[in-house]
Amino acid sequence: MLVSVLLLLALGEATTPEPEHLKTFQAEFRPLKRSERSYAKLGPAGPFYPQRASDARASGYGLIKCQVADDGDLTKCKLVNETPWNSNFAPAARIMAERKRIFVTGATTGATILVQVPFVLGGPAAVEP
């Protein structure tokens, strides 16, 4: 009986890995839209930069767990962590993934991965021509 329970636990862990067992990728930003040009001063996150963090002049990152879709988009994203805490970087990262504003390269289709999304106030931001 104990062996069965341990085997089930091991199988469960293998199919739903904890965040520390997942591969981490750095998010890449798509260019800001022309209509968002005025937000470029906030950095590549543009209008998605959290107000709380902007007011505090804080930079940091949001960490989300996502699945990689067939087209390479990030789907089914969940909040994992953020630094500094309570900065709203993780929710902003999830919203950016949902709206296809960030992507990763090198991830396997269908894989569940961690995505670290940097928020650098005033960082260089590309804008659509």
| 64 touches 93 (CB < 8 A) | yes
Query: For residue range 90-103, what is the model confidence (pLDDT) as tens digits?
Result: 999 999 999 999 99
C-alpha distances out from residue 107 to 61, 90, 104, Å: 20, 20, 7
Let me know if residue 106 belongs to a domain.
yes
Let me know if residue 94 belongs to a domain.
yes
CATH at residue 41: 3.30.2420
Query: For residue range 33-87, what is the model confidence (pLDDT) as tens digits?
Result: 999 999 999 999 999 999 999 999 999 999 999 999 988 899 999 999 999 999 9
Q: How many domains does the chain have?
A: 1
C-alpha distances out from residue 125 to 35, 79, 111, 120, Å: 14, 24, 29, 10
Structural domain for 53, as ranges: 19-119
